[in-house]
Amino acid sequence: MPLIIKLGKKVKAAARKLLPAPEPRLSWSRRISQIKTKSRICAMTFDDGPMDLPAVPDRFHGRAVTDLILDVLAEYDAKGTFDVIGDTSENYPDKRGRLGTTNWGGVAYDHYPDFGRDEHGGALHCERIIRRMIDEGHQITNHSYRHLIYGRENIIYRKRRSLDSFDAAVADLTRLDSLLRDRDGYQMTMTRPPHYVNRVEKGLTAYDVCDAMGYQYLAASFDGAGWMSDRNPDPEAALEAEIRAMVEPVRKALEKDPDCFCGQIIFQKDGGNMQKRTPVVYGLRGQLELLRSYGYRVVTVAELMEESPFADLGREDPLFDKLNALQRDRTIVYSDNHLRLDRPMTLGELALLLCPREEAVRRRLAIIRRSGPAAPAAGALDWCAEQGLLPGETDPKAPVTALPEGLFGPTTDFTRRGVYAAYRSPSAE
């Protein structure tokens, strides 16, 4: 593997260690990176587009990068999930960054598809391409309007401007959500925060922003590598190396375990890499060819979540249908999308099972706006107390030892599995 690509992977691994995912807690919005299934289906997400500029190098008579990606997907009957931005033309004054670094698109801000060419990218300027995505059955998710990181990040992106406010992050996402709804008649349901920076302000995170939007948090489990660049001074050799870096890991993973992509979400780029080349339009076919030869279907993330919305529970589990119905209206899953059914259930978790999602989210966000960070079940506990389901002074971390009468069948099993199994769910009847 070329050195720069190895370095890119090392930097990413180090960043993951330095910026660990927050401790999983029950949350209505969950980080969806992979789901549990035995079927050979997977998804591909394409970040930072659309892009209405030719490929680099251009061997397609000037056809736009996003159109080329859509052409290849159509050829393989594959559906993509396009994690689009709105518009970066407001992200000035700024300075051009250095090629080959994470600042390639700008020092203080990101600019897509390129510095000074913002009017060729984003959903605002690319109405025709957005229409094409919708008409061809792809999913579109919200990668924020201006691609500003929500909160400070002092390791890789320390020179970047950030929003630093919960309300500003919600407003930025709402702007793109409204554009697609009002102009294109499309409702987005997921978001991926720019550069995966979760911290916003005062202990609030991207998950709270998702809750406010009614979104799920879109992550990924396999790096498709289209964002990485090779430093070979010969551009042709560099492009070849970049294409290999996209295709070979997929081949190796499939050779090692033909089922390894079941339920995975492959991260991909709708645009240029750090050298402003677009290996994705050259390497994507190789990836899709491999997946097809192993019998995989590439579907949208929404379709993947219809197979199973959970990372640790598949259709074969006897509780699957009940929990699948419940998760639409109740907060029963941890923020990392695991159910952890073997754990003892806590009173806070019981409150979140009993309280309708809308009430739980609305009340918790109201507490946050009033006084800052709130425990996951803060709003749900208030609602349960008002309904007389739980006492007012309930310790959310205490284990469940008895269940409110009427709503549950008889049980002595107070694990999460036991309590969900005994619940006489209104939505499952």
User: Which residues lie near Zn ion (CB under 5 A)?
Assistant: 47-48
Q: Find the shortest distance in angstroms from Cβ 192 to Zn ion.
A: 7
Cβ atoms within 10 Å of 92's Cβ, excluding its own? 14
Smallest CA-to-CA distance from 380 within 127, 125, 27 is with: 27
Nearer to Zn ion, 227 or 420 (CB): 227
CB-based contacts of 345, cutoff 8 Å, min separation 6: 399, 400, 414, 415, 416, 418, 419
CB-based contacts of 388, cutoff 8 Å, min separation 6: none
In 147-285, the DSSP E strands lie at 190-191, 199-201, 204-205, 216-218, 222-223, 265-269
How far apart CA 109 and CA 72 sit, in angstroms, is: 31
Q: Find the shortest distance in angstroms from Cβ 83 to Zn ion.
A: 7
Q: Find the shortest distance in angstroms from Cβ 191 to Zn ion.
A: 11
Q: Find the shortest distance in angstroms from Cβ 122 to Zn ion.
A: 11
Length in residues, the chain? 429
| Secondary structure (H, E, C), 171-191 | HHHHHHHHHHHHHHCCCCCEE
Nearer to Zn ion, 48 or 177 (CB): 48
Nearer to Zn ion, 197 or 311 (CB): 197
Q: Find the shortest distance in angstroms from Cβ 48 to Zn ion.
A: 4
How far apart CA 383 and CA 389 sit, in angstroms, is: 9
Nearer to Zn ion, 48 or 349 (CB): 48
Nearer to Zn ion, 67 or 110 (CB): 110
How far apart CA 147 and CA 109 sit, in angstroms, is: 8
Is-cis flag, bond preceding 113, omega within 30? yes
Q: Find the shortest distance in angstroms from Cβ 197 to Zn ion.
A: 10
Smallest CA-to-CA distance from 428 within 360, 363, 346, 353 is with: 353
Cβ atoms within 10 Å of 154's Cβ, excluding its own? 9
Nearer to Zn ion, 83 or 242 (CB): 83
Nearer to Zn ion, 47 or 317 (CB): 47
Q: Find the shortest distance in angstroms from Cβ 347 to Zn ion.
A: 39
Nearer to Zn ion, 149 or 281 (CB): 149
Smallest CA-to-CA distance from 126 within 48, 57, 213 is with: 48
Q: Find the shortest distance in angstroms from Cβ 193 to Zn ion.
A: 9
